[in-house]
Amino acid sequence: MANHRVGFILSVKKRKKINLEAFADLCRHRCIEVVEIDLNQPIASQGPFDVIVHKLSDVIVEAEHGSQSQRLLANFQEYVFLHPQTILLDPLPAMTKLLDRFASYCIMNTLQNSMREKCICTPPYLEISTCDQSAIRETVDTRQLSYPLICKTRVAHGPRSHEMSLIFSADGLKDARPPCVLQSFVSHGAVLHKVFVVGEEHFVVERPSLKNFPPGPCDRKTIFFNSHEVSKPESCSHLTALDENTPRMAPPSRDIMAALVRQLRAELGMALFGVDVIVDIQTRTLTVIDINIFPGYEGVPQFFSSLLRHIESVLEKRGSLK
């Protein structure tokens, strides 16, 4: 008989991606029942829940415009308010903040200031909310962003969030589509280190990334690309192809990665997130370029056992506080 009940709210795609059925089987052997929560039905009648694991990004983003998503989100928030003993993985305010790339870059900037002695930084960035070309150019110059620039959608969720561009000059700024964020590009040897965090544990998976580009403005046309396609494990994009003579970069040290994760966990108040990290080929500085909500955990075979350990840990802590 199950001693605890854990509810999951995930999209169909996410459920299949992490193989929730297999996770439920693992939990069953530890006397934990896994329940898929239907947001269209009263949540209270599906409970009670000791823990709710969710990725409500779709609902949060759609609630900006759709009345149905507003209702679903309001019902969920009401349930959480009326059941304060239920542990959320992760808190809604923290998750909502990370859906805004500009807000997450502000968090990354705070991280840079607190971890300067560890040689961890984040590239200069700015938010673009106008189509006025002269205003955009002036802001880029004032904030001392350097070309090339990576242009990303401000909303860090949905298919469009993977659509990015590489802008090489002031003339190329016409290709920016506000609302968006601009971030100075850092050459990093076409290697992306994806850090997957599960509670107090983390895993680093190496992925392909954009090749090096010379610093400074040039007359090259804007390059449009899909970051998911470029950085998927089996990617063979021409944008990731390095010159054979390019030296191989050493991976970040485990100690620095662990310090980064500890600081981010404290800063975010979250347990399930990912961090995209690169190493600057010029300065060898560890550079944080993105933070992701409840990522896919591809390449992390220990994800199930780590998630179960974290759930058991938070249940144990809650029990000791009673």
Distance from the Cα of residue 262 to its chain's centroid? 16
- Does 146 lie in the same domain as 44? no
Report phi then psi at 148, rounded to 5. -65, 165
Q: Which domain holds residue 182?
A: 97-293
* Omega prior to 100 cis, within 30 of 0: no
Whether residue 212 is annotated as binding a ligand: the answer is no
Taking only the tens place, the pLDDT of each residue in 207-232 is 999 999 999 999 999 999 999 889 88
Mean pLDDT value of segment 4-19: 90
Reading the block at residue 285, the tokens are 């500085």
Verify that 203 and 251 share a domain, yes or no: yes
- pLDDT tens figures, 97-155: 999 999 999 998 888 888 877 778 899 999 999 999 999 999 999 999 999 999 999 99
C-alpha to C-alpha distance for 303 and 208, rounded to whole angstroms: 21
Q: Tell whether 193 is in a known binding site.
A: yes
| Residue 202's CATH number | 3.30.470.20
Say yes or no: 31 and 148 in one domain.
no
Residue scoring higher pLDDT (244 or 38): 38
- Is residue 221 marked as binding? no
Whether 24 and 160 map to the same domain: the answer is no
Does residue 194 share a domain with residue 81? no
Q: Judge whether 190 is annotated as a binding position.
A: yes
CATH number of the domain where residue 57 is located? 3.40.50.11370
150 and 199 inside one domain: yes
Residue 2's pLDDT is what? 60
Are 248 and 102 contained in the same domain?
yes
* Residue 188 annotated as part of some ligand binding site: yes
154 in a labelled binding site: no
